[in-house]
Every structure is written in C-alpha cells, then in structure tokens.
Amino acid sequence: MTASPFLLTRRRCLRRLGPTLGSVCLGAATLAGLPCLALTSEKIRATGPDALEPPRPDRGEATPKVLRFTFSRRREDPRTQWLIAVYRELLASLGIGFEFVDVPPGRGPIAVRTGDADGELGRTWGYGLLNPELVRVAESNNAVEFAAYATEASLGDRFPGWPAVREQRWRCEHRRGIPELADLLAREVPPEQVSTVATIEQGLRRLQLKRIDLYLDVREAVEDHLAFGDVSAEFSAGPAPRMLGVIQSTTGHAYLHRRHEALVPAITQALREMKRQGTVARLREEALKRFLATRAK
C-alpha cells in the first residue's frame, strides 16, 4: 500500500531534524578567562582572588525563590522539554527554582499578566512590541525563520517574490500573535489578500482546501507540527504542504514580566555562558532523543 504524501512528508521531517531540534544561535561572546566583566546592572562577584560565581540580580530587590514559565506548546513537545531543561538549569545556577505552568497556548500571556506565571519560555523578538509589560531576555534561545507554504502545484516550488504575490492576487494567511509576519504582510500585500488563523493546523488545512494560496508561519513550528503533532485524519489524507522558501528571519527569546526586570541581566549572561559551553545544544539533542524514544515504543 502506497503511503500518503502527508506521511511521506512527516517521515522526511523526522529524518531532516536528525539529532538536532531546530537551529540555535551559538555566536555569543566568550566570557571564559576574564577575571572580571562589568555589564549594565550586572556583577560577577569573586569569593576569592580567582573565583567567580554566577551573576546575581543586584538592584536592592528580593530574589524570588521560584519563577514560573509558560510556553506556546504542549508540555510533552520536545521543544518545550528542551526549554524547560535549559531554564531549570539556568535558574538553578542563580539560586532560583523553576516551575512550568501548563496552560493552553492562548492563555499563556494571560497567566503572565494576572501573576499566575512570571514569564514565557520562548517568543519571537517582536513579541515584546505587542506586550509592553514584558521584558525580553537579550540573549536568544534560537534562530527563527519565517517560511511560505503551498499545496497547489501551479504555484511552483519557489517563493516568487512579493510583486508576483500582489500581481497574482494570491491569498495569504498567517497565525495570529506573530508581529513580524503581520508587519511584513501589511507592507507587502493589500489587506484584502491577508487573513489570520489561530493554529498551524487550521492554516495548513485551509491551504489543502484551497481557501488560501499561501500559508506563512515559523518554519520550525510547522516542521515540528508535521513531524510530531497530533494531526487530524482529514489533514493526513490531504496533499502535503511544501515549503516555497524562507521569507524573513529573526530570533526567539524568553520573556519576563516587568516585575522581575532586575533578573533579566543575570539570566541573559547565564544563558550566554550556557550556549558558549555547549549546554544549550546538548539539552536540545537530549530532549529530541527522549521524545523519539518514547514515540518508538
């Protein structure tokens, strides 16, 4: 029996991801070997002539015992498990506990605003522009690419550029809550050609049903959904979405509510050091291996 195009795409996604889970920016400045480094609102404190401790918040505010984070994916998602592992280890180095608040993706920002959570583990750089009550951790978790997807064969295999999209009046759709994509489409495409959806599957399913011509989203999120997501039977039976190209790039960051702004410099420096040491990449690979081992059972 011949496998459906969707199942073939799903297998290719798993093979493509291999031992890694997305891409991580590893170009942070090396801090090792420096006896002292002064940063704005940060201090590395020496307990002896040559000893260094992890940076601690130093603005006269009490350090919380625990920080609670949400994320826009399910707890069992390998990317969620990766970021949980990263920030649990990072906060432990600062003497702070970690707690994951498992809420539906749409309720994460609400939980932070109401005080039921203290921050979000990962959002795009521009997310902070929509949420001024949040403070971005300057060091990124990973690189983020925005990509265009299609199912209709007549659209070709490569993104043709925005002039062609406007000329052909292709209907474009993107997931809500991604300001970079919303701004890009507002600049490049007339508003009557743009629509939004709440989830990746909704957008891809509308693509299959030819209600839109292009679906635009975070590349790693779409690939993870195709490889790991709990997709519907109707979606699996439809034509496999294909990526036409990357249309823009940014970075993904953790965010804290402004009531914890004093902690952000210390978290930034600790994350930078974990990336320099290879810890972030190692935890990412371990999270993916555990997930794949679980699914193989």
Instruction: Please give the average per-residue pLDDT across 267-291, as a whole number.
Output: 96
* pLDDT tens digits, one per residue of 230-245: 788 888 889 999 999 9
User: Which CATH number describes the domain made up of 22-140+251-296?
Assistant: 3.40.190.10
Q: List, in order, residues 6 or more apart from 116 with CB less than 8 Å away.
A: 68, 101, 103
Name the residue type at position 290: R
Distance, in Å, from the CA atom of 222 to the CA atom of 6, rounded to the nearest integer, reads 13
* Domains 5-15+144-249 and 22-140+251-296 are alike in CATH topology: yes
Distance, in Å, from the CA atom of 198 to the CA atom of 177, rounded to the nearest integer, reads 9
Across 44-48, 81-85, 87-91, least confident range = 44-48
Here the tokens at position 87 are 């920030």
Distance, in Å, from the CA atom of 133 to the CA atom of 146, rounded to the nearest integer, reads 25
Distance, in Å, from the CA atom of 62 to the CA atom of 262, rounded to the nearest integer, reads 10
Domain ranges within the chain, ordered by starting residue: 5-15+144-249, 22-140+251-296
* Model pTM score: 0.75
Q: List, in order, residues 6 or more apart from 3 with CB less than 8 Å away.
A: 11
Is there a contact between 212 and 150 (Cβ–Cβ < 8 Å)? no
In the DSSP assignment, the letter for residue 75 is T
Higher pLDDT, 50 or 142: 142
Across 37-41, 125-129, 182-186, least confident range = 37-41
Distance, in Å, from the CA atom of 252 to the CA atom of 218, rounded to the nearest integer, reads 10
Assign a CATH topology to domain 5-15+144-249: D-Maltodextrin-Binding Protein; domain 2 (3.40.190)
